[in-house]
A and B are shown apart, each in its own frame.
Chain A
Amino acid sequence: MTNLRSLYNFNGGVHPPQHKEVSAGRPIVKAPIPSRLTIPLHQHIGNVAKPIVQVGEKVLKGQMIAQAEGYVSASVHASTSGTVSAIEMLSVPHPSGLPDLCIVLESDGEDTWAERIPLNYREMDLSALRNRLRDAGVVGLGGAVFPSFIKLNPGPQQKIQTLIINGAECEPWITCDDMLMRERADEIVQGIEIMRYLMRPEEILIGIEDNKPEAIAAMQAACSNLHFQIDVIPVPTIYPGGGAKQLIKVLTNKEPPSGGRSTDIGVQCFNVATAYSIHRAINHGEPVISRIVTVTGNVTLPQNFEMLIGTPVNELVALTGTPKADTNRYIMGGPMMGFDLPSDRVPAIKATNCIIAASPRLFPQPPAPMQCIRCTRCAQACPVDLQPQELYWFARAKNLGKAQEYFLFDCIECGCCSYVCPSNIPLVQYYRFAKSEIWAREKEKQASDLARERHEFRQLRIDREKQERAEKLAKKAAAAKAAPTPAVEGTANPSGIDSDAAAKKAAIQAAIERSKAKKAGIAPKNVDNLPPDKLKEIQNIEARREKIRELAQKEIE
């Protein structure tokens, strides 16, 4: 379906060398079942899934081994059949390098499926359908890993006009979505049909960067004979054109509001791989236990693999031939936004779209940073229209209030500014550092607010007790004066004490209530009622805070 729709621009963006051809030349290969899989329970935004198996328990392929906990969470499943050998804290692929709870599975080599029940979704209730997606562990596979069932539930007020399927894949080196679209276009489209059933959008657009002509052709072919319309739209190749907000802008000219959701403007956006896994989950009853991953960089035969979640990175790398000798580390994700893996023993997870074997030759250390010459190349490259040179100035001066005023928290850490800076200033690192400092201060403030309230409450109680004692003494004195006979005094006294105690209790109760109300009222903004993506950001920031602080401190010195 060719399309003459007009496209729009977002400002900024860069054109880094693509390096995509190296891994896009070969078809997707199924990676062998590893003998041991390490499956982290936190592969999504939100709460960690709760393990529901025991050590020693035998599990089947696709069996749920950890259950979604709370609303924003996703279930986790056994990627193959075998025995649970451990449930413990292990190293996971995360920028912080901190360990996380994992279930270790010894595969029995049989790869026996648990029962798979395909659903006829057209006859299903929408919420039951969404529950199935939650139970199948479907999350955004573009790398954001946000639980999909939540995004598919925009709420009764919010009408989705445009459903956007993101096939832009703008990061250099990565080709997993490209290959998926080339090879499994029909299945992606079947996933889109399910989303259409759930959301009833007025239009469906698939945005694909124009450097992927085969993918565009395959998707167009898959969309040509449907009973509804899907527009496959080639978009200009520019980084970060595959960012959801940027793609939305390019396709619809609407800007998702800062701090809000794209549903606020009637748009929802899903990655192609997510559409594919929705199809597998509903039409085949298969939870998310595998994904396509690009293994590339300093390897002999860069390629895409369909790998089981939990496969160790070194086993994936081994599939591409002997790693080249000067490989010094592994990057998960693309070179613009990815991060160093703590080791090549960590498992590949739902968020793993790409593993890049890195070498000093491929990714040389940039020269030492020089002063900012205010050339504003960074500002011209920023897709969010920030003024990175000002943010840098404020972050460096630790003028965090100013940094916030200049919209530090709108920075998506895309790295365009660092990429173009002629002074080699690691701008993004400064922003990460500044953000983490602000969150830390916010937290400290919260803690000290709490301490202050406790203190005030204690003071209040002490004052009240003092006052009550004084009143009691005065009453006693008055009673002694007024009472002529000890008999009367005897009966009056106990009752007096009782009422005093009751009054005291009531006063304390009232103070507690007041304090509670006060606390609810003065919770620092910024931290409460955050959208889940912000929560994830906070979690990430918290986790890598120490590391960044160290790095940034080094840079500053």
Chain B
Amino acid sequence: MNSPYIKETTSVSIIMLKVLLALVPAIGLYVMYFGPAILVSIMLAIATALVCESMMLKFRSYAVKPFLLDGSATVTAVLLALSMPPLAPWWLIVIATAFAIIVAKHLYGGLGNNLFNPAMVGYAVMIISFPVHMTQWPAPEMLASAHLTFTQELQYIFAGIMPDGLNLDAVSMATPLDTLKTQLKLEHTINEILQMPIFSWGSGKGTEIIALGYLAGGLILWQQRIITWHIPVAFLSGLFLTGSLFHIYDTDRYISPWFHLLSGGAMLGAFFIATDPITGATTPKGKLIFGAGIGFLTYVIRSMGGYPDGVAFAVLIMNICVPLIDAYTQPKVFGHKSVQPDAQEK
């Protein structure tokens, strides 16, 4: 043994466990507003992730148990499930998770070596391949014209069977971001659009509450020193400032920046996804650039791109830039006058 002889009692498992616990408030709100189907998605994703993870660990001749217990696969699974529509058929979740774990994580070298956020890779591949399924979100409890019981939901998820006399449209609806986009295409003004029943004070009914759940979880992570403030603050500021500029420029065509903060994957992304340490920037300045980049790109993709939400693509794009960002934002070392410019990418 060698010094230091003592160690703080932290471990990757504890960190991952704390991340999962910090998600609990948002998941609880999710169930309240959209029903328990999300729990099924989460379980399904976790099961798939654990199976794929063990397989890959074995395949790459790692000790399965300690690495499985690090919890990273579980976190990826839960984040992915939270990003996908909970009424999605079971195979959609399974394929997305398997892709995230097998390709995005292990084929890129496993935990610590992957360049791209696995959950976001899973999400992006699914939305490119199965755009229709990926946009079937359940309507919030108070808006749906019909309700599925939990058993009926299970039947739909696993067997694709809807109860007699009901079709999918009765229980699902476009997300607020989707609705906004289509309505803007129809030349409605923001004010008119916001009159629609799906919108509420912040963004979509229920959506904004869940967003606040993520915010609460994020604050817990920050308080627990699992994440630093840099990425979430930069992300949300990037999104907010870009949104503000457009909003000020034309209030009829560009919605308030608050709406953007509280819709889609913004809060989840800011606190739980962009903060993934493995694929994010590591220097304090780098984290600011990385986060602000994601915020900016999220806005651009949401407002001008072809996809309803931009977080996943924004994260993936910024992932590519990480080595460069890190190399050029090395902090000043103690006792040195300034950062030496010869630091280059690995």
Task: Known contacts A373-B72, A429-B2; decide if A420 and B331 are in contact (CB<8 Å).
Answer: no
A249 to B282, CA, bound (A): 25
Q: Name the CB-closest residue of A to B113.
A: A371
Number of A residues near B (Cβ < 8 Å) is 63
Q: Do the beta carbons of B1 and A363 come within 8 Å of each other?
A: yes
Q: Do the beta carbons of A372 and B112 come within 8 Å of each other?
A: yes
Give chain A residues whose Cβ lies under 8 Å from the Cβ of B110.
371
B237 at the interface (CB under 8 A from A): no
Q: Do the beta carbons of A387 and B283 come within 8 Å of each other?
A: yes
A172 to B8, CA, bound (A): 13
Of the candidate stretches A20-28, A124-132, A312-320, A377-385, the one touching chain B is A377-385
Give chain B residues whose Cβ lies under 8 Å from the Cβ of A383.
334
Give chain A residues whose Cβ lies under 8 Å from the Cβ of B72.
373
Q: Do the beta carbons of B11 and A418 come within 8 Å of each other?
A: no
B131 at the interface (CB under 8 A from A): no
Give chain A residues whose Cβ lies under 8 Å from the Cβ of B336.
257-258, 407, 410
B107 at the interface (CB under 8 A from A): no
A175 at the interface (CB under 8 A from B): no
Within 8 A of A (CB), among B1-18: 1-8, 10-12, 14-15
Q: Name the CB-closest residue of B to A11.
A: B334
Q: Do the beta carbons of A375 and B15 come within 8 Å of each other?
A: yes
B178 at the interface (CB under 8 A from A): no
A265 to B294, CA, bound (A): 43
Within 8 A of B (CB), among A402-424: 402, 405-407, 410, 415, 418-424
A255 to B3, CA, bound (A): 26
A369 to B246, CA, bound (A): 49
Task: Known contacts A16-B6, A415-B3; decide if A406 and B11 are in contact (CB<8 Å).
Answer: no
A366 to B332, CA, bound (A): 31
Q: Do the beta carbons of B333 and A385 come within 8 Å of each other?
A: yes
B343 at the interface (CB under 8 A from A): yes
Give chain B residues whose Cβ lies under 8 Å from the Cβ of A336.
3-6
- Can you report 17 residue pairs joining A to B where beta carbons are below 8 Å apart? A17-B6, A245-B335, A258-B333, A335-B6, A371-B113, A374-B282, A383-B334, A385-B332, A389-B282, A390-B282, A390-B326, A405-B342, A410-B334, A410-B335, A410-B336, A424-B7, A429-B2
Give chain A residues whose Cβ lies under 8 Å from the Cβ of B15.
373, 375, 422
A457 at the interface (CB under 8 A from B): no
Q: Name the CB-closest residue of A to B226.
A: A375
Give chain A residues whose Cβ lies under 8 Å from the Cβ of B33.
none
Within 8 A of B (CB), among A352-409: 358, 363, 365-368, 370-377, 379-380, 383-387, 389-390, 393, 402, 405-407
Q: Mark B49-85, 1 if CB is under 8 A from A, else 0.
A: 0000000000000000011001010000000000000
Task: Known contacts A245-B335, A258-B336, A405-B342; decide if A374 and B278 are in contact (CB<8 Å).
Answer: yes
A209 at the interface (CB under 8 A from B): no
B111 at the interface (CB under 8 A from A): yes
Task: Known contacts A371-B112, A372-B112; decide if A380 and B5 are in contact (CB<8 Å).
Answer: no
Q: Do the beta carbons of B333 and A415 come within 8 Å of each other?
A: no
Q: Do the beta carbons of B11 and A422 come within 8 Å of each other?
A: yes
B185 at the interface (CB under 8 A from A): no
Q: Name the CB-closest residue of B to A380.
A: B228
Q: Do the beta carbons of B330 and A406 come within 8 Å of each other?
A: yes
Q: Do the beta carbons of B10 and A363 come within 8 Å of each other?
A: no
Q: Do the beta carbons of B112 and A363 come within 8 Å of each other?
A: no
B273: shortest Cβ distance to chain A, in Å? Answer: 15
A225: shortest Cβ distance to chain B, in Å? Answer: 38
A43: shortest Cβ distance to chain B, in Å? Answer: 20
B188: shortest Cβ distance to chain A, in Å? Answer: 45
A426 to B2, CA, bound (A): 9
Q: Do the beta carbons of B5 and A358 come within 8 Å of each other?
A: yes
* Among candidates A14, A375, A405, A406, residue contacting B8 with C-beta atoms closer than 8 Å: A14
Give chain B residues whose Cβ lies under 8 Å from the Cβ of A385.
331-334
A418 to B282, CA, bound (A): 17
A421 to B10, CA, bound (A): 7
Q: Name the CB-closest residue of B to A383.
A: B334
B251: shortest Cβ distance to chain A, in Å? Answer: 40
Give chain B residues whose Cβ lies under 8 Å from the Cβ of A371.
110-113
Instruction: List residues of chain B with CB under 8 Å of any chain A CB.
Output: 1-8, 10-12, 14-15, 66-67, 70, 72, 110-113, 228, 277-278, 280, 282-283, 326, 330-337, 340, 342-343, 346
A129: shortest Cβ distance to chain B, in Å? Answer: 31
Q: Do the beta carbons of A387 and B330 come within 8 Å of each other?
A: yes
Q: Do the beta carbons of B2 and A428 come within 8 Å of each other?
A: yes
Q: Name the CB-closest residue of B to A376.
A: B282
A233: shortest Cβ distance to chain B, in Å? Answer: 21
* Among candidates B3, B332, B335, residue contacting A257 with C-beta atoms closer than 8 Å: B335
A253: shortest Cβ distance to chain B, in Å? Answer: 12
A340 at the interface (CB under 8 A from B): yes
Within 8 A of B (CB), among A153-175: 172
A383 to B110, CA, bound (A): 30
Q: Name the CB-closest residue of B to A335.
A: B5
A383 to B283, CA, bound (A): 15
Q: Name the CB-closest residue of B to A544.
A: B2
Give chain B residues whose Cβ lies under 8 Å from the Cβ of A372.
112
A339 to B310, CA, bound (A): 53
Q: Do the beta carbons of B3 and A373 come within 8 Å of each other?
A: no
A16 to B277, CA, bound (A): 24
Counting chain A CB atoms within 10 Å of each CB, the highest count among B7, B12, B280, B332 belongs to: B7
A99 at the interface (CB under 8 A from B): no
Q: Mark A335-352, 1 if CB is under 8 A from B, else 0.
A: 111111000000000000
Give chain B residues whose Cβ lies under 8 Å from the Cβ of A370.
12, 66-67, 70, 111
Q: Name the CB-closest residue of B to A381.
A: B8
* Among candidates B1, B14, B332, B337, residue contacting A340 with C-beta atoms closer than 8 Å: B1
Give chain B residues whose Cβ lies under 8 Å from the Cβ of A45.
none
Q: Do the beta carbons of A335 and B4 come within 8 Å of each other?
A: yes
Within 8 A of B (CB), among A80-124: none
Counting chain B CB atoms within 10 Å of each CB, the highest count among A384, A407, A422 belongs to: A422
A393 to B109, CA, bound (A): 14
A501 to B6, CA, bound (A): 72
* Among candidates A16, A255, A339, A402, residue contacting B335 with C-beta atoms closer than 8 Å: A255
- A sample of 19 more A-B contacts (CB under 8 A), given A363-B6, A407-B333, A419-B7, is A11-B334, A16-B8, A17-B6, A331-B3, A363-B1, A363-B5, A367-B11, A370-B12, A371-B111, A374-B280, A375-B277, A376-B277, A380-B228, A387-B283, A387-B331, A390-B346, A420-B10, A421-B7, A423-B12
Give chain A residues whose Cβ lies under 8 Å from the Cβ of B4.
335-337, 415, 418-419, 428
* Among candidates B2, B5, B343, residue contacting A406 with C-beta atoms closer than 8 Å: B343
A10 at the interface (CB under 8 A from B): yes
Give chain B residues whose Cβ lies under 8 Å from the Cβ of A367.
11, 66
Q: Do the beta carbons of A373 and B111 come within 8 Å of each other?
A: yes
